[in-house]
Amino acid sequence: MDLRQTRFEVDDRGVGTVTFDRPEKHNVMNDEFMADLHEVMDALDGVRALILTGAGESFCAGGDLTWMQRQMDLTRAERVENSGALATMLRRLDTLPLLTIARVNGQAFGGGVGMIAVCDMAFAVPTARFALTEVSLGLGPSNISPFVVRRMGAANARRTFLNARMMDAAMAQRLGLITEVHDDVDAAIEVEVASLLRCGPEAVAATKRLIEFVDTHDADENAAYTAVDLADAWDRAEGQEGIAAFLEKRSPYWRE
Helix (H) or strand (E) holding 135: none
Q: Residue 209 CB: number of other CB atoms within 10 A?
A: 13
Which residues does 213 contact at the CB level (< 8 Å), separation at least 6?
Answer: 221, 222, 225
pLDDT at residue 34, rounded to an integer = 95
pTM of the model: 0.95
Exposed, middle or buried: residue 180 (CB in 10 Å: 0-12, 13-18, 19+)? middle
Helix, strand or coil, per DSSP, at residue 105: coil
Local mean pLDDT, 10-residue blocks, the chain (256 residues): 90 97 96 96 97 97 94 94 95 98 98 98 98 96 97 97 97 98 97 97 97 96 97 96 96 90
The Cα–Cα gap between 84 and 79 comes to 8
CATH ID of 6-196, from 3.90.226.10, 3.30.413.10, 1.10.630.10, 2.60.40.420: 3.90.226.10
Contact between 106 and 126 under an 8 Å Cβ cutoff? The reply is no
Amino acid (1-letter code) at residue 86: L
pLDDT at residue 1, rounded to an integer = 76
Angle of helix 31-41 versus helix 76-94 axis, rounded to 10: 40
pLDDT at residue 158, rounded to an integer = 97
pLDDT at residue 2, rounded to an integer = 72
Which residues, listed in sequence order, are joined to residue 15 by a DSSP beta bridge?
Answer: 49
The Cα–Cα gap between 133 and 75 comes to 25
Domain ranges of the chain: 6-196, 201-255
pLDDT at residue 164, rounded to an integer = 96
201-255 in CATH: which number? 1.10.12.10
The Cα–Cα gap between 103 and 110 comes to 16
Q: Residue 203 CB: number of other CB atoms within 10 A?
A: 16
Contact between 160 and 117 under an 8 Å Cβ cutoff? The reply is no
The Cα–Cα gap between 144 and 149 comes to 9
Decide if 6-196 and 201-255 have a common fold: no
